[in-house]
Amino acid sequence: MPHTTVRRLALAGATATLLAIASGGLVTATLSGAACPGWPLCSGGLDLRAGPAVWIAAGHRIAVLLAALLSLWGAVVAWRARALETWARLPLLLAPPLGMLQTLLGALIVQLGLFGAADVWHLALALLVLACQVVPLAVLAQPRGEATRPGGRALREARRLRALTWWSAGAAAVLTLALSARAAAAPMTSAATFLPVNSFGALAMAGVLASGTFWQTWRSRRADRLLVGIAALLAGLIAAESLLLLLPPTAAGLGVGLGALVWSTALVLAVLVARRPLPVGAPAPVVAARSERPSLLSDYLSLTKPKVISLLLVTTLAAMYITEAGAPSLWLVLWTMVGGYLAAGGAGAINCAFDQDIDVNMGRTSRRPVPSGRIAPRSAFIFGLVLSLLAVVVLLLFTTPLAALFATLGIVYYALFYTRWLKRSTWQNIIIGGGAGALPPLVGWTAVTGNLSLAAVVLFAIIFYWTPPHFWALALVKQKDYARAGVPMLPVVAGEAETRWQILVYSVLMVALSGLLTAIGAMGWVYLGAAALLGAPFLRYAWNTWRRGDQASIWGLYKYSLLYLALLFAAMVLDRAILR
């Protein structure tokens, strides 16, 4: 019985919080707060004849009060239900204090006139309160049971889906905060000129991740109709969000409420994916039914190294949204992404053609199409060359000559300078060769502005110094493969101790460089705080790698470095969306 009561209170509290968030977005977008200037009651009382502004402001405060009461009630019931699972009980206990902080910030916004960034933090706290009510719902809907423990490829598919769901939840939170910034700007924007350009980057990121989540859910958990249905709902809600942004400025407030619903759906999906067991006896039915030999199309696609390119495109896209020129047009973003993929994919294919003799001696790469004999080196080289030429043409026609120049430089740098010479001749291959992976932000920046600036150079430097810790961590794990292939990676040439020390040195330099964007005035305090929060775990992993050198620390650094770079550039976009 206590479980049923907790479930009902959590659902009621989440519903009230959603209403409070949606009405708060509407208050921000319509400036209805001016109709009720006092707090907690309006100064002089409510004049119900003053028009819809008063009703919107009053409705928001009623929704906030109702959400607070339900949150407190849920916490009391959860406190008494000692047998409740921790992940159902703890969030409900955290909801009231978070709600109090959020309400206090709302009072300060009204009394002191703190708007803009304060509104976004106000919403961020509301999203945390909402999460504290939604997560228990998902936990109670799916009690922890005996899960199957698949191995091999099925396990990798399960981990990939789990990671995608949490990435989608993070993207939903960023999208909602970006929409809040758009709602704050809506009163200053006419309906005729209103375009959701500041929110497009966040919307595109959330849409891509939600689509990928739905595909991966369908691919690996097709038999679980609940998960497939929630994943489809998530993708559909983001599609509805994109349509809502085409409406007049006042609709920006409703977009905040819909964004909060997207956030809730993504959280529910993430929790259920982590807790629901795979079907017994068929851990990965779709994967198992596939042929062991990949198709020719998938082989050629793998030559472009899509996983590597995804991170490169994140840095390219982020750079396009943080320039002083303002948000780019959607067509410019599309053609820059196409050109960027073709350039990076072409360089990757040429790299695969040239590295056949190395890849065949390494367990990590021996199953690639060229070393396994499925694609001839000559065919891979021609394929890469064609993609590279197409990239240059696309960027020249649809972006700027400087963007095309940097893309060409990246192709030559990686496919020839690094692959044919640096990689095979010096232990500094990763240090010098890191410049190839640091060029995509310059492509994105110059595609929008047509010129370089100090901020763009700092973006290049951040990735340049990020590359050695990232790749040396992998080289520490795979050093026997590199030694067998004759590649003079740092661990092979100088040993593990020196490599671990160099990882720490470059990590410190990289984190310090990340703060330089704020020092030169290119980024604000939102980015600086995010950079500090993201840099602290990176330094901890680097320190543990240097002091302990165990596989857990090294692998932890390698995996976190991927997340770090993506989130750091996402923080830049968020900073621009809030403080622009």
Give the number of domains in the chain: 4
State yes or no: pLDDT of 26 exceeds 90. Answer: no
Query: Residue 262 falls within a domain, yes or no?
Result: yes
Query: Residue 403 falls within a domain, yes or no?
Result: yes
The CATH number given to whatever domain includes residue 393 is: 1.10.357.140
Most confident of 173-177, 189-193, 271-275, 342-346: 342-346
- What's residue 112's pLDDT? 55
Pair (301, 374) in one structural domain: yes
Pair (21, 164) in one structural domain: no
More confident residue, 522 or 365: 522
Mean pLDDT of all residues in 376-404: 93
- Contact between 416 and 409 under an 8 Å Cβ cutoff? The reply is no
Pair (160, 44) in one structural domain: no
More confident residue, 67 or 52: 67
Query: Residue 471 falls within a domain, yes or no?
Result: yes
**Domain span holding position 184:** 153-290
Categorize the per-residue pLDDT at 191 as very low, low, confident or very high, splitting at 50, 70 and 90.
very low
Close Cβ partners of 47 (under 8 Å, ≥ 6 residues apart): 54
Categorize the per-residue pLDDT at 192 as very low, low, confident or very high, splitting at 50, 70 and 90.
very low
- What's residue 462's pLDDT? 95
Pair (133, 85) in one structural domain: yes
SS3 479: helix
- What's residue 398's pLDDT? 92
Pair (317, 448) in one structural domain: yes
State yes or no: pLDDT of 248 exceeds 70. Answer: no
Most confident of 87-91, 286-290, 528-532: 528-532
Domain boundary among 290, 322, 341: 290
State yes or no: pLDDT of 339 exceeds 60. Answer: yes
Query: Residue 222 falls within a domain, yes or no?
Result: yes
**Burial bucket for residue 65 (CB in 10 Å: 0-12, 13-18, 19+):** middle
Domain boundary among 79, 106, 141: 141
State yes or no: pLDDT of 283 exceeds 50. Answer: no
Q: Give how far Cα 425 sits from Cα of 409, 421, 488, Å.
A: 21, 6, 7
State yes or no: pLDDT of 116 exceeds 70. Answer: no
SS3 374: coil
Pair (496, 474) in one structural domain: yes
The CATH number given to whatever domain includes residue 243 is: 1.20.120
More confident residue, 115 or 23: 23
- What's residue 281's pLDDT? 46
Categorize the per-residue pLDDT at 467 as very low, low, confident or very high, splitting at 50, 70 and 90.
very high
Q: Give how far Cα 295 sits from Cα of 65, 215, 300, 368, 382, Å.
A: 58, 19, 9, 13, 19
State yes or no: pLDDT of 358 exceeds 90. Answer: no
- What's residue 196's pLDDT? 41
Query: Residue 148 falls within a domain, yes or no?
Result: no
- What's residue 415's pLDDT? 87
Question: Positive or negative CA dihedral for 359, 364, 369, 374?
Answer: positive
State yes or no: pLDDT of 408 exceeds 80. Answer: yes
Domain boundary among 141, 170, 187: 141
Pair (341, 374) in one structural domain: yes
- What's residue 10's pLDDT? 86
- Contact between 580 and 198 under an 8 Å Cβ cutoff? The reply is yes
State yes or no: pLDDT of 188 exceeds 50. Answer: no
Mean pLDDT of all residues in 294-301: 79
- What's residue 287's pLDDT? 40
Query: Residue 34 falls within a domain, yes or no?
Result: yes
Mean pLDDT of the chain: 81
**What is the number of alpha carbons within 13 Å of residue 580 lying toward its C-beta?**
20
State yes or no: pLDDT of 189 exceeds 60. Answer: no
More confident residue, 16 or 115: 16
Pair (190, 107) in one structural domain: no
- What's residue 33's pLDDT? 58
State yes or no: pLDDT of 494 exceeds 70. Answer: yes
State yes or no: pLDDT of 273 exceeds 50. Answer: yes
- Rg of the chain (C-alpha set): 26
- What's residue 558's pLDDT? 92
Q: Which of 256, 236, 116, 237 is nearest to 196 (CA)?
A: 256
SS3 2: helix
State yes or no: pLDDT of 155 exceeds 70. Answer: no
Query: Residue 389 falls within a domain, yes or no?
Result: yes
Query: Residue 147 falls within a domain, yes or no?
Result: no
Pair (504, 432) in one structural domain: no
State yes or no: pLDDT of 194 exceeds 50. Answer: no
State yes or no: pLDDT of 136 exceeds 50. Answer: yes
More confident residue, 100 or 322: 322
- What's residue 181's pLDDT? 67
Categorize the per-residue pLDDT at 394 as very low, low, confident or very high, splitting at 50, 70 and 90.
very high
Pair (39, 117) in one structural domain: yes
Pair (277, 390) in one structural domain: no
Q: Which of 223, 257, 222, 220 is nearest to 237 (CA)?
A: 257
Q: Give how far Cα 468 sits from Cα of 206, 330, 445, Å.
A: 30, 34, 24
- What's residue 263's pLDDT? 87
Pair (416, 495) in one structural domain: no
The mean-pLDDT minimum among 11-25, 199-213, 297-311, 532-546 falls in: 199-213
